Every structure is written in structure tokens, then in C-alpha cells.
Amino acid sequence: MRLQNTLTGSVEDLVPVTPGRIGLYVCGVTPYDAAHVGHAMSLMVYDVLVRYLRWRGLQVTFVSNYTDVDDKLIDRAAQQGRDPLELANANIEQWEREQQALGLILPDVRPRVTREIDNIIGMIEEIVANGLAYVTPAGDVYYRVRSKADYGKLSHRNIDDLRTGTRFEPGDAKEFALDFALWKAQKPGEPAWPSPWGLGRPGWHIECSAMARRYLGERFDIHGGGVDLIFPHHENEIAQAEAAQHAPGPTFANIWMHNGMVQRDGEKMSKSLGNVVNVAEALDRWSPDAIRMYVLSSKYRQPNNLTDEAMAAAIAGIERLTAALRPGPGTAPTTIDIAASRARFIEVMEDDLGTPQALATLFDLARAINRGRDAGEEIGAAQATLRELAGVLGLTLVERATDEAAARLDPAPFAKLASRLEVACSGNDVASTIDALVERRIAARTEKYWALADTIRQELDALGVTLEDSAAGTRWSVKR
Ligand SMILES: [Zn+2]
């Protein structure tokens, strides 16, 4: 597989540090508030990367952190009169439930700053010992950026460019404007931990260097995050990891992968603009599949513009793929080239996670299945391939909305209709009973029992279920 590497600016082969294994670190959320759909959509990129690599037989360790102590979190907790850690825990629990509701695989390791303090202090001590950090009289520890000759290599800028626009704050004990805090001495009322420099807490950047090294080793395969994190966060992660390095040679992440930010109607999604869509709202309006289809429809590095039109297109796309999975009674030999679809899917995914092209492959396969169904071909194997490849992208293709709507109907009249027509009925599962009735109608039409086919349509219609015939087969929906 080849991935665009921000560090080198080119598309590079992913060569595992340890053959057969991939270590992936992705910067996680600061749980001062509920996560929004932008966070979920960013994470979906790495979710698909993990699913794909695992499907290709690699053993992936996926690590993503929680910054559960931070200025914003402390401020928010103070406003609400809550303990910052309790607020963080509540938001983390909600976010993990939401990730599952969205069909996101949870990272294998989800370290939290407050549980990694010793690990973080250990790394800061190494950096200080190596002369790349200094301790102020107040007990703050700063990274000495000017001692790192290649500082700026990830964001492709040099220290002089970066310095423009930064300034010393009054009372700042830093030697240089770009120096950043590894350890912050305690301020009154803030959570703090003992350290060799007195009571305090870690700076923001150090946690990721320390956690990535602890769970993935000094050198690992992929580090991901939003493009907004390239500078200063990721630049500083590299600087810290290299300053604490034990063995000579390349260290930290081989490939730096960055996803574009999610916008809402062309604007950055942010609390201050008031255009944030939270996960609960998103799930209320759209299925997890539709949200995923929307995310995967554009290249992961591009900004993602969430509009109602784009979501409507994503919903239609999911319906097309799902419709192709409806059963077909054909028995003629298939003419669908399943192996070609599979090869094309792999080819485009290997090319820097080409999800828009991978979706195009699925749509082509769905069209071939529909043509095969119309021609009376056996389409089961092609449908199994479509389901498998869609699953690699995390798409379930479950007829969720329809099934849920059917579950709200009274099962009794459907059971009665099924029994009258001698169709096997699934008791209280209205959706399955409707499926069985629809199949009976397809069979009736095939056998040219037009009157029976019409009766089934009319009776279902009277019970609130509409049938729609198309080249893709018959689909039913519950009338609103
Ligand atoms: Zn990070």
C-alpha cells in the first residue's frame, strides 16, 4: 500500500517496521464537550484504513489518546461546578457509545493523560537530560526549539518563518518565543501531580510522544490526525520523540497521514460559529452508512463539505448498493467478473486509500448485479463479494430505516395476510413477513399470475406498505 507522507511530501510504500504488523497512532479528542460529527468523520478515515489493512492480513495495533486534562477542560468544569476528571470521564463514555452507534471500531488502546503521568514525566526527564529542555524557577519545563536543527521538518518551515507572529507574553520565562511547555507548574485550583520539578501537569504535546512510544515502540508505522495538527502539535511530537531517542537511526512515525477538516456549508465546523452538528443529531437524521458514504466519497486529505445535498447523494448511493443485495431468483450462469471487481478495489485502496474510486468499484459491481438479475443470472456470489468489499469500507448495507419503520407496525394483519396466501410468516417480525410476501409476489409475476401479484400489492398498500418495482428489483417502504 502507498500513502501520502506529509513528512516527505510524497506518496510512499507502507513498509511495516515489523513484518506483518502495523502500528497506528491517531490524535484523539479533548473531552471537554460532546464530540461532534466532524470528529467522527475524521476518525472514519482511520477506521477504514484499519479495516482495510486487517482485511489484507496485517495485524494492526490502533492507538488513540484522550487529553483528559487541559485548559479548556478545566475551564468548562469550573463553569459547570464539576470535577474536571468527572466531566472528562462522562464525555469519554458518551463518545465511545457514539463511536459504536456510528459503526466505528474502537481503537485497541485508548490511553488517558491522567493515567500516563509517570510515563510522560519519564520522557520529559530524558529530554532534559539530553539538553533539549530547561526548567524555569517557577517549575515549568520548556522544550528548547533552537537546539533542534531540523525543527520545522514536518510543516516544511524553518524557525525564522515560524517565529513570525509568535511573541513573548508578559512574565514569560521562555528563552525563545517558539519554545513550548513540556510541564506546567500548578496554578491555584488546578489538578496537579508531583514531579521532579514540583507539582504540575503535562503540556499538551508531550502526551502523544510518550503514549505512542509506550504502546507502539520508538519507531512505528503511521501517525494520523487532522491537517490542523501539523503545526505545532505534530511538529512538537517529532521534536520531543527525537530528543528522547534511545537508539540511533530513524525514530517515531515513518508515515505522517493527515485528513482534511469537515466543513458545514463551506465553513469550518466550530462552536463559535454555531454550526456544529453533534453526533446524536447526525444519527437522528442520517444512517451510519450514509454518513460513512459521504465521508468516503471524497479523498481523505481534502476538506469535507457537509451539505444537505451531499448527504442526499450519500443516502441515494447507499440505497443503490443495498438494492443490489436484494435476492434474485435467477439460475442462469453469471456473467459478472467478480475477480476483476475485487482486483480493482484492492488497486485503488492501495493507492493512498482511494475510497472514492473504491466506492465507484462497488457501484459498478451493483450495476452488474442488477443487469444479471434482469437477465435471470445467478447473482449470489457477486452479491457476497459486494457485501464483503462494502464491509471493508465499514458499510453494513442493512435496510435499517425500512426495518425500523416496519417494526412499528402491528404484526397481526400481516400475519393474517401471509397465512391467507400460504406464505411462511415470521411471527412478530413484520419486515421478514413483508419480505416473504414480496418474494411471493415476484414468484407470482414470474409465473404470470398477475391477479395474485396485484392482490399482494394492493393488500400491502392497504396495510401501509408501498412496493416499488425497478430494474434493481422490488423494494418496499413504509408509508409515513
Ligand atoms: Zn497528538
pLDDT at 343 over 80: yes
Burial of residue 115, with CB atoms counted within 10 A of its CB: 0-12 exposed, 13-18 middle, 19 or more buried: exposed
* Helix-helix angle 206-216:235-243, to 10 degrees: 60
Say which residue, 191 or 273, is predicted with more confidence: 191
pLDDT tens digit sequence for 361-381: 999 999 999 999 999 999 999
* Pick from 195, 70, 78, 224: nearest CA to 125: 195
Above pLDDT 90, what percent of the chain? 71
| Higher pLDDT, residue 217 or 36 | 217
Number of residues assigned to the chain: 480
397-401: average pLDDT: 70
Domain boundaries, the chain: 2-130+147-155+201-273, 306-392, 400-478
Query: What is residue 472's predicted lDDT score, i.e. its pLDDT?
Result: 56
- Running DSSP on this structure, what letter comes out for residue 106? P
Tens digits of per-residue pLDDT, 202-212?
A: 999 999 999 99
Distance 209 CA to ligand 1 centre (A): 7
CA 446 distance to own-chain centroid: 44
Smallest CA-to-CA distance from 321 within 392, 374, 369 is with 369
Residue scoring higher pLDDT (335 or 170)? 335
Kindly report the average pLDDT of the chain as a whole number.
91
Residue type, 143: Y
pLDDT value at 335 more than 60: yes
Sole residue written with cell 468489499: 389
Q: Span 34-56, mean pLDDT?
A: 94
The bridge status of strand 262-264 relative to strand 219-226 is: unpaired
pLDDT > 60? residue 8: yes
pLDDT tens-digit map of 183-236? 999 999 899 999 999 999 999 999 999 999 999 999 999 999 999 999 999 999
Whether 244 has a pLDDT exceeding 80, the answer reads yes
If you measure from the C-alpha of residue 26 to the centroid of ligand 1, how many angstroms do you get, rounded to a whole number?
7
CB contact at 8 A, 222 and 204 = no
Bond into 232 cis (ω within 30): yes
Å from CA of 147 to ligand 1 middle: 22
Q: Which helix (H) or strand (E) holds 349?
A: helix 338-350
C-alpha cell at 350: 492501495
Q: Which amino acid would we find at residue 41?
A: M
Stronger pLDDT, 273 or 90, i.e. the higher one: 90
**Average pLDDT score over residue span 291-319:** 93
**423 C-alpha to center of ligand 1: Å?**
58
- Reply yes or no on whether the pLDDT at 123 is more than 90: yes
Distance 229 CA to ligand 1 centre (A): 8
pLDDT recorded at residue 362: 98
| Ligand 1 centroid distance, CA of 131 (Å) | 23
Provide the pLDDT for residue 452.
Answer: 92
Among candidates 179, 171, 306, 212, which has minimal Cα distance to 24?
Answer: 212
Residue 316 sits at the vertex; the CA angle it makes with 313 and 321, to the nearest 5 degrees, is 125
Centroid of ligand 1 to alpha carbon of 146 (angstroms): 22
Q: Which CATH class is domain 2-130+147-155+201-273?
A: alpha beta
Ligand 1: distance of its center to the CA of 47 in Å?
17
Give the separation between CA 356 and CA 455, rounded to whole angstroms. Answer: 43
Query: CATH number of 306-392: 1.50.10.10, 1.20.120.640, 1.10.3720.10, 2.40.30.10?
Result: 1.20.120.640
Q: Cell 436484494 belongs to which residue?
A: 326
Question: Among 108-122, 221-235, 380-394, 464-478, which stretch is predicted with the lowest mean pLDDT?
Answer: 464-478
- Among the listed ranges 15-19, 124-128, 287-291, 425-429, which one has the minimum average pLDDT value? 425-429
**Rounded Cα distance, 251 and 463, in Å:** 66
Task: Check pLDDT > 80 for residue 165.
Answer: no
Q: For 275-293, what is each residue's pLDDT tens digit?
A: 888 898 888 788 899 999 9
Q: What is residue 171's predicted lDDT score, i.e. its pLDDT?
A: 60
Same fold, 2-130+147-155+201-273 and 306-392: no
* pLDDT at 145 > cutoff 90: yes
3-state secondary structure of 61: strand
Do the beta carbons of residue 254 and residue 241 sit within 8 Å?
no
